[in-house]
């Protein structure tokens, strides 16, 4: 291999890397540095909002495209609802509107004229879907309705951070209607499993699946299910939720249909959603002090081809020949710019490209190239005749390596607590998940948040009996919960 990277190249690389704050020094600053320097976002003149730059948006497009395919495999169709919701419509479901009231942005004027009825900019679309379902569902033959919407929503957050919490964000929201509670409940779990599959098989991000406590339940829902991921700094991130509504919304919005026995009845409803915070999850799960580390499935560029000594005869011709092969098997790019190889190495490390392919005169002589993995820096010499077989295998190896590393880190940062003092000691000194028993009382949940600074993340489907007593009050325990500090 002709390395080509001189001492000045290494200095350029060091300069680029040093422009990112170390995550050990200041994790929040590291996160912001990565978002800006990897060109995922820029700040907007609209307070609390962000500009998603092309590279960041390309990640979202890949998430959207692949997740949408999973939705369609389960029979869902895409629709689009209006951006505005009349106040009278929002008020029809009391618990729902109370849950969102502090975050609602209101439109009071159209041009110069004050509106007869103010409208909110959608924080979520349950009320709009219900109003629509009322008009189109009349018979059992009209069910189920399996809808999904890709759109933006607005929630007037006080404290914002790129991707994790902004006043306007992109998401998908599924809304379905069913004839029986069993069908609706099955839908709720099915879509939670779709989210878990996507997180683990596409984002290489291990998650805990479970049900939220009543306190953490979505406004207006009978049950909320969640996938919870653990970030590099030991904080939890809710990464997708699925809600079972029962027939509460249907009754509030007078959605009725004639069943097979010719009786007029209410259907049962679900909703479920994920957002651009998944990009934040990717950054904080896999990133390092050199920048982004992207899972291959959602990386805009899966393999970057960097010619070494590109001025020498035959190098660029061979590079273009290799690029043509690469484009048949992955999202590949050739960087033919006049930047030094060292600068390019640092640039694409910062951008998290899963594989770097180096091709110089000596490589060409040997009919080979050097492939470098972003996740661990491992170098492999690959025959140019076998590159179309090797690259997909290496991309899979990157995914598997990222998942294994994230799972091992999560396991090493998951602790068991048997009483309040032990839980508080862990919460104060050891970032991560805390597994502990709970009696089911709201008072204990509130006390743990107030006195230990942790919130309930979920009651996992996979229950273990850590002890017989509630970690807070010492009374008989009902559930094992995951607790933690969260974004």
Task: Tell which of 407, 431, 462 closes a domain.
Answer: 407
In a domain, 444, yes or no: yes
Radius of gyration for the chain, computed over Cα atoms and rounded to the nearest angstrom:
25
Examine the domain organization and report whether 252 and 370 are in the same domain: no
**202-232 residue pLDDT tens:** 999 999 999 999 999 998 899 999 999 999 9
* pLDDT for residue 2: 37
Cα–Cα distance measured from residue 420 to residue 474, given in angstroms and rounded to the nearest whole number: 9
Examine the domain organization and report whether 163 and 48 are in the same domain: yes
* pLDDT for residue 472: 97
* pLDDT for residue 18: 53
User: CB within 8 A of 447, min separation 6: which ones?
Assistant: 472
Domain residue limits at 424: 414-484
* pLDDT for residue 1: 36
Examine the domain organization and report whether 377 and 426 are in the same domain: no
* pLDDT for residue 99: 75
Examine the domain organization and report whether 265 and 355 are in the same domain: no
What count of other Cβ atoms lies within 10 Å of the Cβ of residue 371? Answer: 19
Task: Tell which of 238, 261, 286 closes a domain.
Answer: 286
Cα–Cα distance measured from residue 49 to residue 74, given in angstroms and rounded to the nearest whole number: 33
Examine the domain organization and report whether 400 and 422 are in the same domain: no
CATH number for position 434? 3.30.110.30
| Number of structural domains in the chain | 3
> Please, which pLDDT band fits residue 96 given cuts at 50, 70 and 90?
confident
Q: Which residue, among 137, 150, 154, 146, has the nearest Cα to 184 in the 3D structure?
A: 146
Examine the domain organization and report whether 100 and 179 are in the same domain: yes
Examine the domain organization and report whether 276 and 378 are in the same domain: no
**265-321 residue pLDDT tens:** 999 999 999 999 999 999 999 999 999 999 999 999 999 999 999 889 999 999 999
Percent of the chain with pLDDT strictly greater than 90: 92
Helices (H), 314-441: 315-326, 341-350, 361-365, 387-412, 420-429
Residue 330 is given by DSSP the state S
Examine the domain organization and report whether 209 and 174 are in the same domain: yes
Examine the domain organization and report whether 225 and 104 are in the same domain: yes
Task: Tell which of 228, 256, 286 closes a domain.
Answer: 286
Across the range 445-471, mean pLDDT stands at: 97
* pLDDT for residue 95: 73
Examine the domain organization and report whether 398 and 451 are in the same domain: no
pLDDT at 6 over 60: no
pLDDT at 3 over 70: no
In a domain, 13, yes or no: no
SS3 275: strand
* pLDDT for residue 90: 87
In a domain, 37, yes or no: yes
Examine the domain organization and report whether 240 and 335 are in the same domain: no
| Mean pLDDT of the chain, nearest integer | 94
Burial of 211 (0-12, 13-18, 19+ CB in 10 A): buried
CA atoms 370, 373, 377, 378: torsion sign: negative
Q: Which residue, among 139, 207, 208, 146, has the nearest Cα to 173 in the 3D structure?
A: 146
Across the range 444-465, mean pLDDT stands at: 97
* pLDDT for residue 16: 47
């Amino acid at each position: 291999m002709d390395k080509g990277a001189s001492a000045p190249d290494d200095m350029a690389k060091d300069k680029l890397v040093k422009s990112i704050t170390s995550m050990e020094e200041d994790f929040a600053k590291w996160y912001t540095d990565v978002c800006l320097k990897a060109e995922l976002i820029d700040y907007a003149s609209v307070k609390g909002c962000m500009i998603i730059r092309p590279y960041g948006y390309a990640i979202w497009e890949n998430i959207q495209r692949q997740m949408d395919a999973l939705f369609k495999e389960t029979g869902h169709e895409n629709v689009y609802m209006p951006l505005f919701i009349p106040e009278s419509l929002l008020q029809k479901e009391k618990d729902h509107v109370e849950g969102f009231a502090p975050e609602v942005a209101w439109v009071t004027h159209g041009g110069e004229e004050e509106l007869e009825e103010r409208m909110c900019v959608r924080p979520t679309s349950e009320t709009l879907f219900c109003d629509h379902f009322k008009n189109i569902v009349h018979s059992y033959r009209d069910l189920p309705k399996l809808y999904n919407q890709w759109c933006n929503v607005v929630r007037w957050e006080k404290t914002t951070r790129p991707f994790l919490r902004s006043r306007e964000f992109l998401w998908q929201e599924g809304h379905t209607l069913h004839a029986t509670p069993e069908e609706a409940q099955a839908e709720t779990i099915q879509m939670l499993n779709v989210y878990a599959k996507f997180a683990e098989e596409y984002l290489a991000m291990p998650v805990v699946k479970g049900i939220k406590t009543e306190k953490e339940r979505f406004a207006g829902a009978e049950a909320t299910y969640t996938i919870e991921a653990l970030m590099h700094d030991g904080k939890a991130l809710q990464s997708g939720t699925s809600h079972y509504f029962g027939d509460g919304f249907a009754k509030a919005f007078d959605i009725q249909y004639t069943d097979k026995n010719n009786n007029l009845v209410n259907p049962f409803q679900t909703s479920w959603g994920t957002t651009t915070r998944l990009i934040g999850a990717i950054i904080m799960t896999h990133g390092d002090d050199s920048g982004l580390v992207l899972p291959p499935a959602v990386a805009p560029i899966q393999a970057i081809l960097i010619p070494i000594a590109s001025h020498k005869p035959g190098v660029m011709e061979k590079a273009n020949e290799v690029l043509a092969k690469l484009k048949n098997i992955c999202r590949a790019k050739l960087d033919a710019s006049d930047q030094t190889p060292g600068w390019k190495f640092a640039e694409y490390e910062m951008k998290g490209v899963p594989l770097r392919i180096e091709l110089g005169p000596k490589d060409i002589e040997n009919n080979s190239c050097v492939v470098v993995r972003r996740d661990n820096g491992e170098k492999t010499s690959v025959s140019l005749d076998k590159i179309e077989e090797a690259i997909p295998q290496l991309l899979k190896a990157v995914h598997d390596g990222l998942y294994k590393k994230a799972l091992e880190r999560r396991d090493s940062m998951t602790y068991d607590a048997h009483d309040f003092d032990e839980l508080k000691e862990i919460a104060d000194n050891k970032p991560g998940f805390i597994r502990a028993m709970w009696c089911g009382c709201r008072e204990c949940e509130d006390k743990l948040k107030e006195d230990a600074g942790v919130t309930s993340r979920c009651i996992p489907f996979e229950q273990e009996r850590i002890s017989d007593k509630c970690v807070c009050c010492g009374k008989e325990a009902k559930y094992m919960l995951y607790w933690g500090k969260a974004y």
